A and B are shown apart, each in its own frame.
Chain A
Amino acid sequence: MSPWREGIARLRRYPSAVAGLAIIAALIATAVYTVIAIPYPQAQELWRGGERWQELPVNAGPVWADRLLGGDAPRTLTASSAAAETVEEAAYDGVRLNRTVLAVDYPYTEFPSEVTLFLEADFEQRRPFVRMRWRTPDGEVIPLGARRVGEQGRVSISQDRGLESRLGRAPQVGLFAEPGPAGTEERPEARPGRYELILETVHFERTSQLAAELVVYGQVHGLLGTDHERRDLAVALLWGTPVALAFGLLAAVGTTVTTLVIAAAGVWYGGWVDALIQRLTEINMILPLLPILVMVGTLYSTSIWLMLGVVVVLGIFSAGIKMYRAMLLPLREAGYIEAARAYGASNPRIILRYMVPRILPVLLPTFVTLIPTYVFLEASLAVLGLGDPVLPTWGKVLHDAQAQSALYHGHYYWVLEPAALLMLTGLGFAMLGFALDRVFNPRLRSV
């Protein structure tokens, strides 16, 4: 059995290794699923935001969290004219009067966060005219005004100042409240029941059409909630997984492998090569990584691939070189390397095939625990506002949350979700790394 396979077999005896591997496997599965389900261009497109999110509430928490805490926060309800019946009440001389009723069955006692009516008219020259009325389950009818509708119209009912002053409170509260004089209750409650939006449309052309959709925004959404731009956090949190893993892995591989090979070359060639590598390392060790990244990000570009490149380049002559050097130095005298020279192995072959593989098992634990540090680095950069401009990442979610004072406004989910994923990543790799350390570093094994 090869030393590697033996090590893996021994690894199975450590529960922490198994748990760590399970976490890592779950993260990898999520990453793979995400990349397949939401291809990269689509993810970028989605995260740019805009219209596709218009039916999602702003800053809605996850549904399960609310239910878990015993809440009954409303979800978003919609009613579309496509599903409702449109009755033509009168027609003369090319002018038609249509009546559409959009009904929502509202089961909650808490109020919606917003109420918006989206309109879309199809006409030749003369825009249709629509009059809107609201009917509560108790039969009370509240006029919501009237307007001409262009190709795209949007009536923010909950933003209607006039309506607000007429109702004496925010429209999304007033329209759903128990009947009675405003402001008498301590904490007003919504009246569950069937609410209707009555649209009376006047078409001035024989063929003109009007499509309408009423959206009663909830306070919670989906598994992960939404942000200030109504974007579903699931997109960012899902896509953050492959980005984080790729960044961490590539940075760890890039720095470890190059550092190891350079350290081995220094040890093998010795003399001025070794001295040069040592001096470069010492200079590099006093260069601060984060400020340099901030500088590059501010002056040049915050592309995640550029950041990765800078991290790897600055990581090549890192303190690791000194450690690897100490481990590699005894190999210079190793009999099998002398034998390799004697049968004619070239210097690069000795470095890559005889020196590097010898200390790889010792390095594996360090390597595994290095991955999450780079994941955290990427997140830190994003929190500092140096996240990738287009890719959704965990760090960028945290950045948005911070910029929007999420904690101050009580949107805990916005901070906790990406933080939990970061911690889970750190935990998974750390648990595996520690177990690997015990398996591959004989000095620790007896402890």
Chain B
Amino acid sequence: MSPRPAQAAAPGEPLLAARDLQTHFELRRWGFLRTGSVRAVDGVDLTLDAGEAAAVVGESGCGKSSLARTLLGLHRPTGGEARFEGQPLARLRGAALKAYRARVGYVQQDPYGALPPFMDVRRALEEPLIVHGVAPRAERERRIEAALEEVGLAPAGEVWGKYPHQLSGGQQQRVVIARALILRPRMILADEPVSMLDASVRVEILELLRRIQREHRLALLYITHDLSTVRHYTDRVLVMYGGRIVEQAPVEALLERPQHPYAEALLAALADPDPANARRERPVPGGEPPSLAAPPPGCRFHPRCPYAMAGTCDVYDPPALGVGEGHTAACWLRA
């Protein structure tokens, strides 16, 4: 597999850029009465350069998957804009949308659910190629073999005819990664790719993603709720809270000098010797995650923030403020 030459995007322009991106889900009663909306993605600004690996970290329900799906074009954004290679995603239709789908690979959380149970590995990997008209069959088989080798499932003949339930979780996820790579994308969106795998194979899979990302100079958006897995595998971290990005920083800067109280709390939980606190389901800082249907006014973190300033934090929404080289935080403390 050879990386495609960068197209369209002007030099210096990021591969992916989102500005004030919003995806709101309407809540309806009886299928037509509007009763409100869930603001799963609510004003996200982010950029991702070609060949860059970034992590999106946030607790469960903060809108990470919704963000990924919006960037994949599976949800239509209800506001704002996302551009890929300079093209606004919302305006892609027909052939252009299909071409975009070939340029973005998707790795899901649950590898077993991500593979059709009635297709063997060969067939599952052949599907994207058929959809995109890759012919002849021999060419498809060559690419399937190459992709399987790439993800460490060599010799390909061994897994070729197997069904998902005959593979281990790690192997399944490798097949999913192979499928995400088979159309030679420019960007991979990996939505919690290891959270459902055994602890023993998580590192392997993360290392595999990182290696592939580097070798092919792919952009990687690695979505996780677990800050402990970002250090060696990404270049930059975006901290997401309540449908927004509250802090962005190079990985080292974030881990050493977090600027947003939420990021600080996440890190503190990491340092906590009690492993139960590093577990996923427990909200890391005390208190409830914010409701996305009725987010708190002002700073969304203020009900849980130990530094919250009455009269400011619960009234005014903090903008993203520069706090260092490539480092921003949305917190009034940094003003």
Contacts and interface: CB of A to CB of B under 8 A. Distances in A.
Interface of A: 1-3, 334-336, 338-346, 349, 353-354, 357-358
B102 interface: yes
Given A2-B163, A336-B114, A354-B116, A342 B131 contact: no
B114 A339 contact: yes
Given A2-B163, A338-B74, A343 B183 contact: yes
A163 to B, nearest CB: 78
A344 B102 contact: yes
A344 B132 contact: yes
Q: Which of A341, A343, A345, A346 lies at the interface centre, i.e. has the most chain B CB atoms within 10 A of its CB?
A: A343
B116 A336 contact: yes
A343 B107 CA distance: 11
A344 B98 contact: yes
B179 A343 contact: yes
Q: Which of A335, A338, A341 lies at the interface centre, i.e. has the most chain B CB atoms within 10 A of its CB?
A: A335
B214 to A, nearest CB: 23
B205 to A, nearest CB: 16
Contacts of A349: 131
A324 to B, nearest CB: 16
Nearest to A6: B163
A213 to B, nearest CB: 67
B120 A343 contact: no
A106 B176 CA distance: 84
Nearest to A4: B118
Given A3-B117, A344-B131, 11 more contacts: A1-B163, A334-B113, A336-B114, A338-B114, A342-B74, A342-B101, A342-B106, A344-B128, A345-B131, A354-B116, A358-B116
**Which 3 residue pairs of A and B lie closest in terms of their CB atoms, listed nearest first?**
A335-B113, A344-B101, A343-B128
15 contacts: A2-B163, A334-B113, A335-B113, A336-B115, A338-B69, A338-B74, A339-B106, A339-B176, A342-B72, A343-B106, A344-B97, A344-B101, A354-B116, A358-B116, A358-B118
A335 B110 contact: yes
Interface string B180-222: 0001000000000000000000000000000000000000000
Interface string B43-81: 000000000000000000000000001001110000000
Nearest to B112: A335
B127 interface: yes
Contacts of A341: 74
A343 B116 contact: no
B108 interface: yes
B237 interface: no
B163 A339 contact: no
Contacts of B132: 343-344
A334 B116 CA distance: 9
Sort chain B's interface into a size bin: 20 to 34
A268 B220 CA distance: 30
Nearest to A357: B118
Contacts of A2: 118, 120, 163
A338 B118 contact: no
Q: Which of B101, B116, B132 lies at the interface centre, i.e. has the most chain A CB atoms within 10 A of its CB?
A: B116
Given A354-B116, A357-B118, A338 B127 contact: no
B74 A343 contact: no
B104 interface: yes
B85 to A, nearest CB: 17
Contact of A343 (B102, B109, B115): B102
Nearest to B109: A335
Nearest to B124: A336
B108 A339 contact: yes
A357 B163 CA distance: 14
A166 to B, nearest CB: 82
A3 B118 contact: yes
A336 B124 CA distance: 10
A357 B118 CA distance: 7
A342 B115 CA distance: 13
Given A3-B163, A340-B127, A343-B101, A335 B108 contact: yes
Contacts of B183: 343
Contacts of A344: 97-98, 101-102, 128, 131-132
A340 B126 CA distance: 12
A339 to B, nearest CB: 5
A9 B98 CA distance: 41
Contacts of A345: 127, 131
